[in-house]
Each structure stands twice: as C-alpha cells, then as structure tokens.
Chain A
Amino acid sequence: MEILAKQNAVSAENHDSSEAEINRKLTTADQLELLRKMLQIRRFEQVGLSKYQGGKMSGFIHLYIGQESVAAGVCSLMGEHDHVITAYRCHGHALAVGMTMNECMAELYGKATGCSRGKGGSMHFFAPDKNYWGGHGIVAGQTPLGLGLAYGIKYKGLKGAALCFLGDGAVNQGAFYECLNMASLMDLPVIYIIENNRYSMGTSLERSSVVKNCLAERGEAFGIEWAQAKGEDINEVRAVTQKAIERAHNESRPTILEFDTYRHYGHSVADAKHKGGYRSAEEIEDYKKNHDPIQLYKRHLISKGVLTEEEYTKISDAAKAEADASAKFAEESPLPDPSSIFEDVYFEVDRGTEAGRTGKHFFND
C-alpha cells in the first residue's frame, strides 16, 4: 500500500485553499451564503444557550460554536445522493443541510413542532428529506449507520457518498474500526469526518489517544485514503472534502478526513462555563481570538473585497433575528399531546393496522 501520510497532512503547509478549484468557482453570493450559514449556526446556538440557562429547556446541549466551518463547508458540497449522519453535537450539521431554525429550536424546547416531535431533543435531530440521518447519542454508534448509508447508496447504483461526522473521542470506540475494515473491504463510499476538537468530554486528546498528532492516519492500517486539514478554514474544509466526495462518487472508496477544530464552550451545558478545569482560560481565549472560523472567513472575504463590515453586521443581525424568532416560535408552540407517547414506536400502530389497533405491542394496562 502506498504511504500517504506526508502528502495528506495539508494543514502543515502554508497555502491558500481559497485558490482551490472548488472554491474559485464560488460566486460572491455563494461566499456570502457560506458566511451566513456559519453565522446562523452560531446565533442559533447562542440563543439556545441563553434560553437553556433561562430554564426553557432541559437535557443536554452540546454546542458547536467554534466548529461551524466544518459543517457548513462539508454540507455545502452535498449533491442529490450524498447523505449526512452525525453524533450528538448535531445542531450545526442540521442547519447546514437546510433544516429550519424553527423546527430545531422547537425540538430543543421539546415541543410538538420540533423536527422529532419533541421526542429526540438536542442530540437527535433528523431530516431524511434533506438526506440528514441525524444526530446520534452514543459515541461512534452512528459510524456503522453511516456505513449502511454508503451500502445503500452503492446497492442502489447511485453516485453518492455517506458523510459521517464523528468526534476525536469516537475514534477510540471499537465499532469505528469494524467500519473502517468493512468500508475498505467492501469498497463503500463512506467519508468519515473526524472533527478533532481535542477533547472527548473532559479528557484531552493527549490523555485519550496514544497517537496524538494525527487520528486520520489510522486509515493507513485499512488501506483507506485520508487527509488531515485545518478545520477553521472553510475553504480548506471544502477543498479537502471535495476530493473525498469525488473518490466516493468515482471509485466508491472510503476516506477519512480529520479537521482540527475547537469548541469554545464545554462538552455540554454540564461544563459550559469550563468549571471542569480541564483546559486553560488562555487556551480558550487563544482559539476564540485567533482561530474563530467565522472571524477568519470574514477577514478573508473583506480582504478579497467580497464583504464589507456593514454587510457582515447585516448578515449577523439577520441570523440573530432569525434565532430569536425561532425561540419565540418554540415558546409559543404546543407541547406534544401525551397520547403521542405511543406513536412512532411501531409503523403499523401508526398506520392503524389490526395489531396496531389492539395495541398488542404494548404492555401498559
């Protein structure tokens, strides 16, 4: 097998990914749309966090703030037969594939108007009509499902890819390795996208992984092409992902991508204020100041003359207004009817078949 390690570590090199072909094609409107998407994700989550802290919702919220370039960049490349699946930090991917803030915010509120009718919550957004197969709560549990999406794409003879997001914590789960072996063995068009934010919950990469400088490299053992890149640069995310999508479409081969990224907040609301002490205030400050994907892209667009400060403010304010409106929508939405407890468990129950009508699946009375 060809050793690909050095050539794939593109982040080490100082180059301008905005010059990559896939990015040179972007019109002004396209570029502003990428910025808008990242800002929508950020404002949605900022409003979500404040509402959470205001006692409007419960459960966990795993904020994506700081990583917006990855979801927005990858999902901007999705074609008709490309599918996305992700883990519990799923808000960014959901909005990136085109889910509305209303259905997402209402789901956080546990309302009937939520995308999952209030049954999924923060970790379980779904929109199969947008090829979005959800947020999944068990670390790496989505990786075999992503493999199955790729299997389905190939089985149906379609030119598509399964884009399966996972965190750096997930690479230490056994299921992931089973998937790598099968993906390569069976030539499945799956792209495993590791969003390496350097912390699996409160445990740093240094303390959880024996190989610390490159996780994607593990693909070598399975004959899988891989690349490691700077996730804070949306142009780079797109350039690297595009190659993997082409490989999936044209060769039906898997790829592992690793994007270095960082979450500004904690693993979840449980450590949102960084009380755990597992990373320093200086480190967080450095990432916010020097590695914020939105600020980096904003500067890039301004330097190219594509964006002005005024336009940025306009886009940002619009995203904030949309997020606020979604919170209002969620607050005013009805709670799910208690009778819906027994809906969506079994297909035939919902379809009113005989077994469904007699309730023989349930043991409640």
Chain B
Amino acid sequence: MALIEYRDALNQAFAEEIERDPNVVLIGEEVAQYDGAYKVTRGLWKKYGDKRVVDTPISEAGFIGMGIGASMLGLRPVMELMFWSFATVAYDQIINNAAQIRYMSGGLINCPIVIRGPANGGTSVGATHSHTPENWLANIPGLKVVCAATAYDAKGLMKTAIRDNDPVMFMESTLLYGEKGEVPDEEYLIPLGKADIKREGKHVSIIGHGRAILTALKAAELLEAEHDISCEVIDLRSIRPLDEEAILTSVRKTHRAVLVDENKPFCGVSAQIASMIQEKCFDDLDAPVQRVTSLDAPAFYSPQIEKLQFPEVHRIIAKVLAIS
C-alpha cells in the first residue's frame, strides 16, 4: 500500500474512472490547465486532454446546470466547485433540477452527476468561503451527501459516487487535501451508506463525519491515555444515505454518544442524529446525547479566532468527561 495525500487519492479515482468509462468527464473552474485550485486534478488535463478535463468560466449556475443537462443524456460529469460555498450560486440547478428531475419525471430521467469540492473553513478565508453545507443538501430528497475523512475513503467513495446513478454531493476539505493515508494498489470501492469504525471502543461512541473525525481520533487517544476512557469513533462517511444501524449498534454497546460535527448546531447534521438516537435507542442511553459542533456564527477571518469556532479536541474531551 502506498502512503499518499488525500488529494492524490481523489486524483487516482478520477484517472481510473476516466479510463474505465468514456462518459466520465471532469468539469469546473481551473480543473484543466491550472491543475485545479487545490491540485486535486493535477496532471489529468495533460494526460486525458480537452475532451475529458474541461475548464469553465466562473459561472456556477451555468456550468453546474450544464453538467446536469449532460448527465440526463448519459454522461457522468464530475463537477468541481472551487469551494462548496459557491454552490449557493448554483442552488437552483442543484435542488430544482439535479435533485428533483427523477421524481418530477416519474422516474424517466436520471441524473448521474457528482458535484464536489472543499467544504468547511479552517483556512482563514472568511465567511463566504467557509460554509459546511452538508445539512443544507442532505435536507433535499434526491441528493446523496458524502463526506470523506481519509485518503482511503476519499478514493473508494469517489469511485462509487461516479458510478452512482443519482446526484452525489461530495464534500472534501481544504485542510484534508494534504493529509496522507494508506491507499491500496488494487482497485476498491466503498459503498455509500456504510459507516466505518475508525477506532474500536467500549465506553463512549464518538460519531461524526469529515474532518471532525481526525479531531475526534485525537481526542479519543488522549481520553484513553489520560482518563482511561475507551472511545469508539464512528465515521459516517455519508450523511445521506445514513448508516443508522452502525450508529445504533455502537450506542447500544457503549450507552453514551458524543456527536462531532463541523456543521452548525441549529438544524445541523448532529441534530438529526441526536434525534434518531433518542427515538430508536433511548433505553440504551446512560446519559444524554452530547454534541460538539461549529459555533453558531459565520466563520471568523482571524485564524486564531476561527480555530475556536470548530470542534476542538478539548471540547470533545470535555463532553466525553461530562457524561462518563
């Protein structure tokens, strides 16, 4: 197994899928000649040319809609948003068209598109560039929402997303692109809707997705070393479909749950999961479900302050200790 960066794991997924299926095409701002704003598509234009890797103007509504129209005709476009925050410009296309065309046509039309790019802040780029829109999108029936935390997951989930016949919203993170992880040499796929136990544990379930998983793993290590508390870390990997069974199984084992989430707290992803846990395994709980989310304010510019807005290790530890 090779140790590679998250961005390169995605890059491998694109290259393999471009070679496998002539209908796969990468489209977005600066994905081709510039190699991608975050170098996720590095080298692909040179290798596969103008037809398969396509630069667009800065026109999110236009080019996302174009990808949706092309997917209706059978292409499998992978659309890059330079930031997921810019999806706000294309929401008419994503929600009214990608998510609902299958339903409104009574199943006649499919939309096999992947829309992807970095979500979350953490790089001091201000509120307009730091949104965590997974809850906005998971709220829309017809969309799938994937959040990969590791290089291994990013590749396996992306390959599945490209082959999926529904529109998949694929969330990455600027801060994850440089993270290294083991990726096998042989091909593999990870199904959407299967959570992953990133760390086995018996006292508390820490459940989350995306970059928050890395924070959770650090917290779990410290809790083990300093407090002898064994935490199980469940990485959801996709918000929709949601692996309810994995969540419930873990909570039934540990009887305690702390949800970590870079999403906002109000009507956020963790709110959905907390609701689900109390409905479905209330009797298994020995303590109230706790949440560690981003703070309920737009992203701060000052990096020192912005950092405080995300779920930090010490905040996770405090919540675990509070219910242990």
Contact = CB atoms under 8 A, between A and B. Distances in A.
Interface of A: 83, 85, 114-120, 124, 126-128, 133-134, 136-138, 141, 143-153, 155-156, 162, 174-175, 178-179, 181-182, 185, 343-348, 350, 354-355, 358, 360-363
B293 interface: no
Interface in B72-110: 72-75, 92-93, 96-97, 101-110
Given A116-B106, A347-B165, 20 more contacts: A115-B106, A116-B104, A126-B106, A134-B104, A134-B109, A144-B62, A145-B68, A145-B72, A145-B97, A148-B66, A152-B70, A153-B73, A178-B61, A181-B59, A185-B57, A344-B105, A347-B164, A360-B193, A361-B240, A361-B241
Interface string B131-175: 000000000011010000000000000000000111000000000
A6 to B, nearest CB: 30
B68 A144 contact: yes
B109 A133 contact: yes
B141 A361 contact: yes
B141 A345 contact: yes
Contact of B66 (A126, A127, A133, A182): A182
A208 to B, nearest CB: 20
A138 B106 contact: no
B310 interface: no
Nearest to A116: B106
Contacts of B97: 136, 141, 145
Contacts of A147: 62, 65-66, 69
B284 interface: no
Contact of A148 (B59, B65, B103, B191): B65
A143 B59 CA distance: 13
Given A120-B106, A178-B57, A148 B69 contact: yes
A149 B103 contact: no
Interface of B: 25, 51, 56-57, 59, 61-75, 92-93, 96-97, 101-110, 141-142, 144, 164-166, 191-193, 240-245, 272, 276
A131 B213 CA distance: 46
13 contacts: A85-B69, A127-B108, A136-B96, A136-B97, A137-B96, A141-B97, A144-B93, A148-B67, A149-B69, A152-B70, A155-B70, A175-B61, A346-B144
A185 B56 CA distance: 9
A348 B166 contact: yes
B62 A181 contact: yes
A205 B191 CA distance: 52
A119 B108 CA distance: 11
Given A182-B63, A348-B166, A362 B106 contact: no
Contact of B68 (A124, A148, A182): A148
Contact of B72 (A149, A348, A355, A363): A149
A143 B102 contact: no
B108 A181 contact: no
B104 A145 contact: no
A175 B97 CA distance: 13
Contacts of A141: 65, 92-93, 96-97
A30 to B, nearest CB: 29
B207 to A, nearest CB: 15
A144 B66 contact: yes
A126 B142 contact: no
Nearest to B194: A355
A52 B64 CA distance: 36
A126 B244 contact: no
Contacts of B240: 361
A156 B105 CA distance: 24
B107 A360 contact: no
A349 B107 CA distance: 11
A355 B190 CA distance: 13
A182 B104 contact: no
A151 B66 contact: yes
Given A126-B109, A152-B70, A361-B240, A175 B102 contact: no
Nearest to A150: B69
A160 to B, nearest CB: 10
B141 A144 contact: no
B99 to A, nearest CB: 9
Given A126-B104, A347-B165, A178 B73 contact: no
B165 A182 contact: no
A174 B72 contact: no
B71 A126 contact: no
A47 B177 CA distance: 60
Interface hub of A145, A174, A354, A363 (most chain B Cβ within 10 A): A145
